[in-house]
Structure 1
Amino acid sequence: MTSPRRLSLVTDEVHALPPDRKAGALRVAIATQDLKELNAHFGSARCFAVYEVTPAEWNFVEAVEFDDVSDESGTHRTEGDDRITPKVSALKGCHLLFCLAIGGPSAAKLVAAKIHPIKVPHPQPITDVLSRTQKMLREAPPPWLRKVLADAGVPRKKPSFQDED
């Protein structure tokens, strides 16, 4: 398998690849075929769009593209050809991965790399996924997201009794 190609936005600052995470941001990867929609299975995704998400904003970080991917049935072309490990390695530093589907062994490799996979039932615009992620961060994150935030070192405001009124 060839190494992934990375497309990152260039600013006045010099970044190592992958770019360092902005303090307090959740790094989110989205499986996509076109950089517009979440519309790919993990194994068949030609590209992952990576964003940093905070309660107030999101910013594109990079796109990671692969030439050699599985078809959507999950069938590999060559026996023993590992297309999953390079994808997991390329997503290092991400906290969440949104995709249409993912197999058990792939999900286990992501979890071992501290990346939480999230299956979405149907294709949708990337902006919708990012907006919902922001909303979860602003409001009451579910327990699985609180754990991801704690593991990522993202500070959380502790709710007070006054906040519930």
Structure 2
Amino acid sequence: MGESTKITVESTGSIENAMKVAFATKDMETINAHFGGAKEFVVYNLGREGFELSNVVKTDTSKLNGDDKTDFKVKALKGVNIMYCESIGGTAAAKVIRAGINPMKVPEPRKIEAVLNELVAMVNGNPPPWVKRIMNIETTEDPRLARWAAE
């Protein structure tokens, strides 16, 4: 059977309403692994104030077959809100989505820190409704609110 190890990192835990973002990686610095082939995922807490390393999830599915590998990885990522990877198959993506994780593909390897900085900027700008829901951000600046209130 496969092995999953979660390495928790000592952090301040000071980020309010943080969402968990995981990255499939081979080097802990770059999004450069396929979901199914990733042996580790680095997980960050991310909020308006910034981001901090939460933990590293190491997954070894070499002794598992077929769908068991995907199911194993999805269970190991429980609690993650967004997962970035280089690629992911359709069946695996469906399982990830059903588990409440939003899969995001990058067309080419990207530095994790750059993506984290972009996410912080997005959260502090006008994040999409699904991100607001995850982070418990009130929608106060949406021009549709006045229209909805009038209905």
* Shared fold per TM-score greater than 0.5: yes
Q: Is the 8 A contact 2:19 2:135 kept in 1?
A: no
**Residue 60 of structure 1 pairs with residue 53 of structure 2:** yes
1:135 partnered with 2:121: yes
* Distance in structure 2 (CA, Å) of the matches to 1:11 and 1:79: 36
Q: Does 1:102 align with 2:88?
A: yes
Match of 2:69 in 1: 83
Q: Which amino acid aligns with 2:40?
A: C
User: 1:149 is matched with which residue?
Assistant: 132
Change (3 A) 1:11 1:133: closer
SS of 1:84's partner is helix
Distance in structure 1 (CA, Å) of the matches to 2:66 and 2:85: 24
For residue 156 of structure 1, report the CA deviation from its aligned partner: 3.3
- Give the length in aligned residue pairs: 143
SS of equivalent to 1:44: coil
Flag the structure with higher helix content: 2
The Cα of 1:46 is off from its aligned counterpart by 1.0
Deviations, residues 97-119 of structure 1 (Å, cap 9, x unaligned): 11110011111111111100011
- Quote the sequence identity (%): 34
Amino acid at match of 1:59: E
For 1:4 and 1:137, locate their aligned partners in 2 and report how far apart those are by CA, in whole Å: 31
2:55 & 2:66 partners in 1: Cα distance?
29
Q: CA RMSD in A?
A: 2.5
**Residue identity opposite 1:7 in structure 2:** I
The equivalent residue for 2:6 is: 6
How far 1:68 moved relative to its partner?
2.7
- Report how far residue 79 of structure 1 moved: 5.4
Change (3 A) 1:114 1:148: farther
Matched-pair contact (CA < 8 Å) for 1:100–1:121: yes
Q: Could you tell me which residue of structure 1 aligns to residue 111 of structure 2?
A: 125
Query: Unpaired runs of 5+ in structure 2?
Result: 144-151
Task: Report the Cα distance in structure 2 between the residues aligned to 1:82 and 1:34, rounded to whole angstroms.
Answer: 25
- One of 38, 43, 50 as aligned partner of 2:36: 43
Which ranges of 4 or more aligned residues in structure 1 deviate by more than 6 Å? none
Structure having the higher strand fraction is 2
Structure 1 residue runs without a partner (length 5+): 13-19, 70-76
